A and B are shown apart, each in its own frame.
Chain A
Amino acid sequence: MNAIVKAKGLTKQYGHILAVDHLNLEVFEGEIFGLLGPNGAGKTTTIRMLIGQTKPTSGEALIAGYDIIHDPIKAKESVGVVPEVSNVYDEMSAWDNLVFAAELYGVPRIERGRRAAELLRLFGLYERRDDKVGNFSKGMKRRLTIAAALIHKPSIVFLDEPTTGLDVQSSRVIRALLKQLNESGVTIFLTTHYIEEADQLCQRIAIINQGKIVALDSPEKLKAKAEEQHVVEVSFSPSKNVEHQLKDLKYVSGVSQVGDKLRLYVEDASEVVPMLIDFCRENNLKIVSFNTLKPSLEDAFVKITGLSPEVLAIEKEHAKKGESLG
């Protein structure tokens, strides 16, 4: 397999802060590659270096065979970029936005209109092509931003948090489009807060923490790494806030709330069962449901990054609202 992205010793330092620390990475042609990490882990800085938006302090990166530092124009010709915040021009129509993108990327005049129409149809925006983008919904702007990134038929598309802040329906549409795009041969490099999204879409995932890649594998293999930690999901009646009390129990390393259930991260599920029964008796609670779960990618992520499930839950909540914790 050919590597379309090759990063070697990529480092970015902002003053005393080391945002990305000697990152080595290869992304292969035709794959969907995910970069996962908690807030401030260095995901966006990594993408910004790979697309030539910021210069690395040291190291090098080849995109489609071109050095992004020394030959940025050539490298950028093969790349499509979808930033975290949709950045189409509100004052222009959907059609004009795409034509401008085509002009910037040097698409021949004769092909601009045909390509714009093709993409607007693919992204379900053709009927609204003459409307000012300022009147579009968040999801429509997102689709148009992705369409603009594809106007020059790039070999690889970088997407930074493609579904952050979108409603469920729009997120689904975008995920389906990304899969479709990948099937047509486009390599996809994405960062996401949504671990489930990475699990559904990506063939390989790199987990970045404090500027370093701490794990890189397929989602299934990453999950296997987390298997030594057990997850127990339990719900009580009446539902009470007992998260903190459960956290103090022996063998319990973390607790997170998932809907009306509590997820307990334990060393050994069999040890926890009698403890939970005692706990219910002491607190006048009944167990409504009890399940032991196979480790999810999220569990692997928690284990690898050392992030507590509670912090992860807060991060996910912020991601849903489209906010960044920095």
Chain B
Amino acid sequence: MQSLIKAFYIAKKDARVYYFKAPNFTYGLLMPVSLFIAFSISGQISSSLIVSGLTSLVILFGTTSIEAVAVVLEKQTGTFERLLVAPVSFFTILFGKALAGLFFGLVLAAAVLVPLTVISGTVVANPVLVFIAITFSSLTFSALGVLISAYAKWVPEAQMLSNFLRFPMAFLSGTFLPLELLPAQLGIIARFLPLTYSVEALRISINDSAPTTTYLMDILILALFSFILLVSGSKVLQRRLE
């Protein structure tokens, strides 16, 4: 319990210090929105796919961007040391960082989802399921951001590394067009990408009022991704800080 409280304090501090840094808005909000508009403007995309795709994309870009700032900048300025010498486990520190990303993801998702549903006239079938899907998506992508940031020395390097993953994921995860329309081999690759499950879970929760088996599986897989990514990030960062 003490660890969870301390993780929350770290998240609160990160929100205060890093949320309003410029890269979070350029990489986190403007880039995915522009990307989405550019690729969807001429296509025949259903409104639920637009809502789920763009929301997931914004969460992915937003949370990985905040982690790039919150982890790498702390390493750079030496403030990460302050956390390391405190009576807190390494995993708790990174969980706190991921929590900050999670909250940021929730804020960004709400900023995109609400106007999108109003404009497109989409009726959300089950807001609770949508909230759960956004929460697990945010946690997964934050954990991904932590892992990427563990390898980077500078913020631009972290952003560049993130883009290596973010762009292919954006095109292969059913964001711009349904997975069924992808060639078979790409469809298999898509199943290894967390964004696929985020888009799918969001689409289901927008359309269905009760959780389907696929939705529950998506949430479970996202939870699994979060755990694996966070543990890997913790191991990599610990090794690199030695």
Chain A contacts to B: CB under 8 angstroms: 51-55, 72-74, 76-77, 79, 81, 83, 85-92, 96, 100-101, 103-106, 148
Distance of A19 from chain B, by nearest CB (Å): 11
30 contacts between A and B (CB under 8 A): A51-B85, A52-B85, A53-B81, A73-B88, A74-B87, A76-B85, A76-B86, A77-B87, A83-B78, A83-B81, A85-B78, A87-B81, A88-B79, A89-B17, A91-B16, A91-B17, A92-B17, A96-B16, A100-B13, A101-B82, A101-B86, A103-B6, A104-B6, A104-B82, A104-B83, A104-B86, A104-B87, A104-B88, A105-B87, A148-B82
Which single member of A92, A96, A106 contacts B87 (CB below 8 Å)?
A106
Contacts A73-B87, A77-B87 known; A106 to B81 CB distance under 8 Å?
no
- The answer, among A55, A73, A79, A87, for a CB contact under 8 Å with B82, is A87
Assuming the contacts A92-B16, A100-B9, A104-B6, asked whether A87 and B87 have C-beta atoms less than 8 A apart, the reply is no
Residues of A within 8 A of B88 (CB): 73, 104
**Majority-rule SS of A interface residues:** loop
Min CB distance B2 to A, Å, is: 7
Are the CB atoms of B85 and A89 closer together than 8 Å?
Answer: no
Which one, B2, B10, B13, B78, contacts A106 given CB within 8 A?
B2
Nearest residue, chain A, Cβ from B242:
A54
- Which residue of the partner chain B has the closest CB to A145? B82
Residue B89 at the chain A interface, CB threshold 8 Å: yes
In this complex, the member of B16, B81, B87 whose beta carbon has the largest number of chain A beta carbons within 10 angstroms is B87
Chain B residue, CB-CB nearest to A82: B85
Given A87-B78, A88-B79, does the pair A53, B6 have CB atoms closer than 8 Å? Answer: no
Q: How far is the CB of A92 from chain B (nearest CB, A)?
A: 6
Does chain A have a CB within 8 A of B185? no
Interface residue? B213 (CB, 8 A): no
Assembly CA distance A182 to B54 (angstroms):
59
**Assembled-state Cα–Cα distance A83/B80 (Å):** 11
- B188 interface residue, CB < 8 Å from A? no
Using a Cβ–Cβ cut-off of 8 Å, how many residues does chain B contribute to the interface with A?
Answer: 20
Q: Which one, B9, B16, B79, B84, contacts A53 given CB within 8 A?
A: B84
Q: What separation, in Å, do the CA atoms of A92 and B2 have in the docked complex? A: 24
**A100–chain B nearest beta-carbon distance, Å:** 5
Contacting residues of chain B (55-78) with chain A, CB-CB under 8 angstroms: 77-78
A86 to B82, CA, bound (A): 10
Residue of A nearest to B3 (CB): A73
Q: How far is the CA of A78 from the CA of B83 in the complex (A)?
A: 15
Looking across the interface, which residue of chain B has its beta carbon closest to that of A149? B85
Cβ contacts under 8 Å, A74 to chain B: 87
Q: What separation, in Å, do the CA atoms of A189 and B77 have in the docked complex?
A: 24
Chain A nearest CB: distance from B23 CB in Å? 14
Contact (Cβ within 8 A) B85 A53: yes
Closest A residue to B93 by CB, please name it: A104
**CB-CB < 8 A to B9: which residues of A?**
100, 103-104
Tell me, in angstroms, the Cα distance from A196 to B199 when the chains sit together.
65
> Which residue on A lies nearest to B9, using beta carbons?
A103
Considering the chains assembled together, what is the distance between the CA atoms of A107 and B46 in angstroms? Answer: 53
Q: How far is the CA of A106 from the CA of B9 in the complex (A)?
A: 10
A191 to B6, CA, bound (A): 30
Q: CA separation between A79 and B77, bound complex, in Å?
A: 22
The docked-state distance in angstroms from the alpha carbon of A219 to that of B114 is: 70
A43 to chain B, nearest CB (A): 16
Residues in B210-242 with C-beta less than 8 Å from chain A: 242
Asked if residues A79 and B85 are in contact (CB atoms below 8 Å), the reply is yes
Complex CA–CA separation, A103 to B83 (angstroms): 11
With both chains docked as a complex, state the minimum distance between the C-beta of B239 and any C-beta of chain A, in angstroms: 11
Contacts of B2 in A (CB 8 A): 106
